[in-house]
Structure 1
Amino acid sequence: MKPGYRPLRSDGIASMLVGTLIALAAPAWAVLASPKGTAGDDPAMGASRGRGGDPAVPRTLPISGRVLDPDGRPVAGARVILDLSSADATPDGFAEASASATTEADGRFALSVQRERLAEAGTRRAGSPEGPVLAAFAAGYGPAWTDDLNVGTDDGATLTLVRDEVPIEGRIRDLEGRPIAGLNVRSIQLDEAYRGDLSRWLEAIRAEAVGMASYGHFRRALPPALASMITPAKTDAEGRFRLAGIGRERLASLLISGAGVETQVGLVMTRGGPSSSVLFRHFIAAGDTRLKKVPIHAARFELVAAPGRMGEGTVDAADTRRPLPGVTVRAGRWMPGGFPDIWPPIDWPAVYVRATSDEKGHFRLPGLPATGMFDLVAEPAEGQPYMPLSRRRIRSSGTEPLRVEFPLSRGVPIRGRVKDGADGRPIAAVVAYYPKTGLDGSELLSSTPRRTHPVGWFEVVAFPGSGVVTARARGDRYMSSDLVGEERGRADQPFPDALGLPSARDFDAYASIVTPEPPEAASCDLVLTPAPEPVVTVLDPDGRPLAGAVASGVSAADEAREAWWQSVAQSRFRVTGLTGHRIRRIWFHHEARRLAGSLSIRDGDGGPLVVRMRPWGVTSGRLVDREGRPRPGVPLSYRDAQYPDPSLKWQFPKAVTTDGQGVFSFQGLVPEQEYTVMVLGDGTVGPSPRVGDSHTLTPGETRSLGDVREAGR
């Protein structure tokens, strides 16, 4: 270590300031990085022993299942893809699929994934993307997808393809009615109603449900990384295109781009009949939003494409005027008359309207609006010690090339490591820097967040002066910074005030820092506090240890965690993911003995804990409408009335769908726990519509609910 080099440590609360600086040099991870990834992540190592004598847990998990056609027959030759890109998705784009397989003659498939990788992808924390998606594609059908992987079950996941009876057939013209040839049309997201029918969603938007309120009718979307697997189309000389492989009764978000037009997203249904529209709030200015109708096209439609504009210019270093290659230039935020605020709820202009500077620093950015106002942003590549720059509120009024220059200011590299506070091992995390002052009214931006390198090293670029460095680990094994502060009796210590910095609960560690003037560099280590993982002992009704119970409800990653495997193998397991501010309910079920139990755990509780299983309850009923007529094909879920958290996956009992007579049945209910039957995908904001009254069952009780109907229906 060089004399005077003192890395900052952070313990999840504001730390001391950097006292010493280091000269710019090659990053230390250039020597230390391992090409195999984070230590302990090598699947060749096989199964690992759990803590304190816990049973062996496999490093690699099998993902298996079947692909069926709409009539329930096996489909051979279908391509099945497990997409973990949700864990890697950034505003800059989407990762590729993580694993794939092809179905055999019986429709079966098998692939594998590292257990920890699946756990990280399945984690759901505030502001984080959703978990992994398994999808199947086959010629002549629309894709099937699910986020219920059924890891560890005999049957695995079942993916049922849909009929592809209604292809999208469109024609694109310019403002003067002339067809436009050579435009690219591709899907970037697919949405499907819970009931496989868009009718009720159309009823909602015709009743002027606003924006996202109407999208409660849809289940988990097929994300961009998978939607892009559908073969794209190109307009012919008549401006026509045909896009197949989406499947009936779906809503497709189509990206339309090409020479001379503004890049846009069109929303198209795979059903006939009239087109429609949905209301979205459109940003005008601070505190001023207005409702704007966004068209929802039927499967056969015509679209007028607005003229576009080419953006071009040079990116260079402000101090030396040397060109900077590899810099990303992209569209910024939406502005009045610019990119519309529509479904899908991603910053799609930033993802799809972008270019990269060449070796001379030049860039060409097609697809900009010819009229309206928008921002452009230049973001340096990793390893370039420069700050991003925004050109704000660019007013566009013409189709001639728009010249934009980006002289980037040199910043201060901050280098360090993200480490586990218990054993010092490197942690995969996203590290960001936030300046405390000095950007009001400026076009300078905070540096792009960076992922740590394989051995935990990171480098972010900062402004000279005061700021805050933050770390957010992949997965949910570390306590949020505010919980760490409370645990150490420092909850009253004020969180640093920095531009764009949310709150302590949004990070696992942070440190205040004072950086020097360039070209000097600063150092900062961030130390994460492992969340408590209390041991839960499962007992049978007679108080004896009970192996074989399955725990669910901790997090979407639970099936890939030690907890699932330990609960199956023995009578105890560790609860993971206790990182935030809430009380969560964990459910336990032993199917062979038809026993159930539950346990409420507060985040930060270190245990040990005990749950006693009892004979589970069963309910049944018939769902009817106001006139007493049965309602077939309605998806229902049984929610804990006190903890109805829809983000927790693998809850038990699982959702069911009413049969042709509206009849439903649920098994596995925990005795003396209040339950409520909910309707899934009814398009409402907030809690789903309730079916009947809340109720509790005694141990082993079987109860008929009779005829029930949705509240208010």
Structure 2
Amino acid sequence: MPRALAQLAARLRREPVSPDADATDRDLLTRFLRDQDEAAFEVLVVRHARLVGSAIAKVLADPHDAEDAFQATFLILVRRARSIDWGTGFGPWLYGVAHRVAVKVRDASRTRARREKGGGSRPAPPSPIDLSWREACALLHAELDRLPDRYRLPLLLCHLEGKTRDEAAAALQVTVGTVKGRLERGRELLRTRLARRGVALSVALVAAVAAPGAHAVPPPVSVTLRAARGGASDRVLTLTREFAMSSVLSQFAQSVAGVLGVVAVASVLLAAGAGVPTHATDEKRTPPAPQPGAVKTAEEPKGTTKTDAFVVNVQVKKPDGKPAAGANVWVWADDQKLTEGRTDANGRADLTVPKFFERVTVFASAPEYGPDWSESRPVAPGKPAAGSPTELTLVENERAIEARFTDLEGRPLANLPVEVLRLAKLYPGQTWAEFRAKRAADDLALQSLPRVRGTAAGLPKQLSTDKDGRIKLTGVGKDRLVSLATAGQTHEYTLVRIVCRELEKSEELPGHEPLCGARGTVPLAPARTLTGTVRDARTGAPVPGMKVTDIGFHLTGAVTDKDGKFTLHGMKKQREYALAFGSLGVAPYFDLNESLPDTPGFEPLPIDVKVYRGVVATGRVTDDRGRPLRGHMFYHWTDDNPNVAEYGRGTRAGYRVSNWGDLDADGRYKLLVIPGPGLVGVCARPERLFPRLDAQKESAPRKVYSWPGAPLHALREVNFDPGNEKTFVHNFSLTPGAVCDLTIRGEGGKLTERLLAVGQSEAAEAQPVVGATLKLTGLSPTRARAVVFMDDAKTVGAVAAVTGGAGTPVTVTLEKLGAVSGRLRTADGSPAIGAEVRVRLLLDRAKYDNLPDEVFTTLGVSGIEPGAWKHFTGRTARTDKDGTFTLTGLLPGQEYHLIAGFNVEKMGGELLHERNGVTVKPGGTTDLGDLNPKK
């Protein structure tokens, strides 16, 4: 028996057989995402560790690089779980991800090494005789990485992994003939591309690449599990962010996205703002509302003027559609009630908000009814909110929520603090039964519902259970959902969702955040207490005022005392405890993530940590009139900052709990930095009032390869010198961008009844257009703002490009939409029956400042490119029995990208035709003729 097989057999004899050994990959991943079943994730990692490690070892020689790539591969798996096509091979998909991650790591390491040696741009490709085997292998890996999946994966499996064609076909779930054809086509593509770079594709070269790596042993499973809980390094998180599927996340969500998957991110956001649990009962409701006609306004912040104010018009109705006279109405933003009033006899109220906000939430409530709310976006200071009046409909309030909390033996837990976190509602006009019928009431469906903070909706911040373990919460409303969090010391801190209706047992949901009915029972397990001390990494002195919180789902927390000590209650017993430490402003310490393995029993578990002290930079951000701005500061050191190593782990926390860099009400900030060169920038709010910078384009030449998730409005090179205090003070004055009216002219001079648009606001989805004129703000003189119009029936539309230098109002004229047709053929010339044909709108990112990042799976694992709101502008059709297709609703004068084939958006699909530059004329049909497979 070969030595490697003997070692494997010995290991298998030593290890017990897992009860999950027969579970499918899909089942294991689902259990981890839904129930946080770490054992399932561990089985998944162990099952594919050799495959992933093998793919990485063929590219990377450095064991530290290999470990980072290994962790990033499985974090990408978690983030892209919903996009996996389980009808095709999961193993090959994961192998392909690992290979691409490894190539990315290798290229980044070489770029860094070249910079450190003072090298400039990439040298020209050498001739074949000058190339070493190592260079040739690197080029082969790079070109493999650029191939489409349908050619790349068979090559990886057969030539790098050594599988036969039959084995590769089984793994990819295609025929052997298909594998043969793709191998031949893939080799030809590789041969051509390598020849352009001075390399001849030979059997010897392929054999050299396929040779086992020196460091093929994957990192311990515990390391990957720790990364999945939040303990990943900055480098691993950066790799994950670059390769994983991404919509534009908020800055907070990006700090945790990919660490715990979609469910975890939603849970963290759900409890954001809840802070450290308090144990004092507070059942006070909103103070009595003013009399009808009276309006109470919050105190105006310093620096505001009357011109900052805007008006929100509110119309409140009862469940039967009649006006709700005397209803309480209020406006909420910036974590406070800005103004309040009561509706008149017609159910209307006009609320004046003293300060301009990019968006506010309008609430309404009344005795005997549940509340309603809606987001409102003001157009500009001094103007009514867009879409006025804001219509709100109260709901019936048939019952109170009287959930019961017990221990695992069914005994009531009396005097248990229960926090009210969020209130969610179904979509307009929808009942619970309709919601259940339309989509399964699972975690993802529930998290997509509109929701607000409970206190903003007038609910109490905290309740306490009675002697029978029950709480009583009134005023929620029929079919509303409340998110609660237990905060006891002896039992686990648990999130739970309660729907305000009775649920059958079969309708309840288990998991880390269970769902139950209004009188449901929630059992709680005993909790583990963690105690410890936080000390300065250099001096060993205790650090007071550090917040300590669980990175997982339970969100319990504590603050260190004057001796640096803390006690963390309510921890769910688990294999390993992942904790985050963050400064609350008492002392300038960087955030830190730490993990602690569990031990038997429930006695307090000790943990001591060391944190790294930074240096505080300060400043103020105002507009050009001296008015303070809100938002957040961006900071990152340059890649060649010599002080990074000195600060060790202090700069690498993936999960952050501190608020360094936030702009306060006076526009002031405190930013935690390290000495040496770096970049400081401003992400201001309201973000749409100021011109945006291209963060990636601005940062890279300055040797900073990180950028904020929010729009960047200002950026400055800095060099923090401990010997010069002035270098730590940086003020910014932002000049609002130009304002331009965009007038829409209908086809034939008449506007369509229901016109939609994207690009006029930050919303990713199309929004209704109110009136014939839009006011665009924050325009840049150099980059245009793209606004795409289309009616609901997809008969007319246009694309407007507006820059800050327009000077005068811009008019866009709607035109009849066009169509494109053609006949798709297979390789033998026969009609491609039932094939899919897709087009997507092409807009240039260099020209426009507001294009979203979108995922195009035909581009491969990392197929994230600037898009053009593909769900709104993209079109799809299928060919008929003659291979004929027609795509309608295309914008005239714009370029489209067309792809056609079978399952072209899925791994293992067959691409038959692809082309750019597809255009249509107003009201016309462009016939592309016969579309044959590309040779």
TM-score if structure 1 supplies the norm length? 0.58
Please tell me whether residue 198 in structure 1 is matched to residue 198 in structure 2.
Answer: no
Rounded Cα–Cα distance in structure 2 between residues aligned with 1:503 and 1:155: 33
Moved more, 474-483 or 388-397: 388-397
1:478 to 690, 693, 703: 690
Give the distance between the partners of 2:842 and 2:417, measured in 1 at CA: 49
Contact in 2 for aligned 1:371/1:398 (Cα 8 Å): no
Write the mapping of 1:400-549 to structure 2, written as runs, cut at 5 A: 400-418=603-621, 427-435=629-637, 436=639, 437-438=644-645, 442=649, 445=652, 448-453=659-664, 456-465=667-676, 467-476=678-687, 477-482=689-694, 493-494=700-701, 496-497=703-704, 501-502=706-707, 506-516=711-721, 522-523=727-728, 525=730, 530=735, 532-533=737-738, 535-536=740-741, 538=743
Task: Describe the superposition over 1:515-558 as per-residue Cα deviations: whole angstroms up to 9, x where unpaired.
Answer: 456997842637577575253475989999xxxxx998665589
Do 1:65 and 1:110's aligned partners in 2 also have CA atoms closer than 8 Å? yes
Q: Is the contact between residue 262 and residue 308 of structure 1 (CA under 8 Å) also seen in structure 2?
A: yes
Shift in CA distance, 428/251, structure 1 to aligned 2, threshold 3 Å: closer
What CA deviation, in whole Å up to 9, does each residue of 1:409-463 have, x standing for no partner? 321222344466x788764441143355449983655674322356654321223
* Superposition pairs of residues 30-179 of structure 1, within 5 angstroms: 39=303, 41-43=304-306, 47=307, 59-75=308-324, 78-85=327-334, 95-103=335-343, 107-116=347-356, 118-119=357-358, 122=359, 132-148=360-376, 151=384, 156-179=389-412
SS in 2 for 1:300: coil
The AA in structure 2 aligned to 1:463 is I
Structure 1 residue corresponding to 2:490, chosen from 256, 260, 271? 260
Identity of aligned residues (%): 24
Paired residues, number: 507
Which position in structure 1 is the counterpart of 2:580? 377
Instruction: Provide, for residues 624-645 of structure 1, a one-character-per-residue CA deviation record: whole Å limited to 9, x for no partner.
Output: xxxxxxxxxxxxxxxx9999x9
**C-alpha contact 1:66 1:156 (8 A) present in aligned 2:** yes
Equivalent in the alignment of 1:15: none
- Asked whether the 8 Å contact 2:550–2:578 carries over to 1, the reply is yes
SS of the residue corresponding to residue 271 of structure 1 reads coil
State the distance in 1 between where 2:528 and 2:457 align: 27
Question: Structure 1 417/301 Cα, relative in aligned 2: closer, same or farther at 3 Å?
Answer: closer
Q: Which secondary structure state, in structure 1, belongs to the residue aligned with residue 578 of structure 2? A: strand
Question: Residue 660 of structure 2 contacts residue 671 of structure 2 at CA under 8 Å; is this kept in 1?
Answer: yes
Q: Which residue of 2 aligns with 1:354?
A: 557
Q: 1:443 to 1:297 in 2, by over 3 A?
A: farther
C-alpha spacing 1:432/1:406, structure 2 compared with 1 (3 Å): farther
1:185 aligns with 2:418: yes
Q: Output the CA distance in 1 between the equivalents of 2:708 and 2:560.
A: 35
Q: What is the CA distance between 1:137 and its match in structure 2?
A: 2.6
Q: Which has the higher contact order (CA 8 A, sep 6+)?
A: 1
Equivalent residue letter for 1:600? A
* CA distance, structure 2, for counterparts of residue 466 and residue 152 of structure 1: 43
Q: CA deviation at 1:144?
A: 0.8
TM-score after normalising by structure 2? 0.45
CA contact (8 A) 1:353 1:367 kept: yes
Instruction: Confirm or deny that 1:575 pairs with 2:776.
Output: yes
CA drift at 1:133: 1.4
Does 2:585 correspond to 1:585?
Answer: no
2 CA distance for matches of 1:576 and 1:400?
59
Distance 2:747 2:404 in 1: 70
Structure 1 counterpart of 2:409, one-letter code:
E
For the residues of structure 2 that align with 1:328 and 1:149, how far apart are their CA atoms? 35
More strand by proportion, 1 or 2?
1
Gaps of 5+ in 2: 1-298, 379-383, 750-754, 764-768, 817-839, 844-850, 854-888, 894-904, 906-920, 924-935
Query: Offset at 1:163?
Result: 0.8
Aligned to 2:276: none
Give the structure 1 partner of residue 908 of structure 2.
none
Query: Aligned partners of 1:108 and 1:482: how far apart in 2?
Result: 43
Summarize the Cα distance change of 1:472–1:258 in structure 2 as closer, same or farther, 3 Å threshold: same
Match for 2:407: what amino acid?
D
**2:465 corresponds to which of 199, 216, 235:** 235
Letter aligned with residue 442 of structure 1 = R
**Counterpart in the other structure of 2:518:** 299
Determine the C-alpha separation between the residues in 1 that align with 2:723 and 2:578: 28
Partners of 1:536 and 1:373 in 2: CA distance = 57
Instruction: Measure the CA separation in 2 of the matches of 1:522 and 1:383.
Output: 22
Q: What's the counterpart of residue 311 of structure 1?
A: 530
Question: How far off is 1:379 after superposition?
Answer: 1.8
Q: Report deviation, 1:68.
A: 3.0
Inter-partner Cα distance in structure 1 for 2:518 and 2:405? 13
Change in Cα spacing, 1:540 to 1:236, as seen in structure 2 (3 Å) is closer
CA drift of 1:223 comes to 3.3
Q: Choose 1 or 2 for highest CA Rg.
A: 2
Superposition CA RMSD, Å: 5.2
Residue 646 to residue 139, structure 1, CA distance change in 2 (3 Å):
farther
Report the Cα distance in structure 2 between the residues aligned to 1:115 and 1:528, rounded to whole angstroms.
19
What SS class does the counterpart of residue 451 from structure 2 fall into? Answer: coil
Match status 1:270 vs 2:522: no
SS at match of 1:442: helix
State the distance in 2 between where 1:75 and 1:396 align.
Answer: 59
> In structure 2, what residue type is equivalent to 1:458?
Y
Give, in whole Å, the separation in 2 of the partners of 1:518 and 1:296: 57
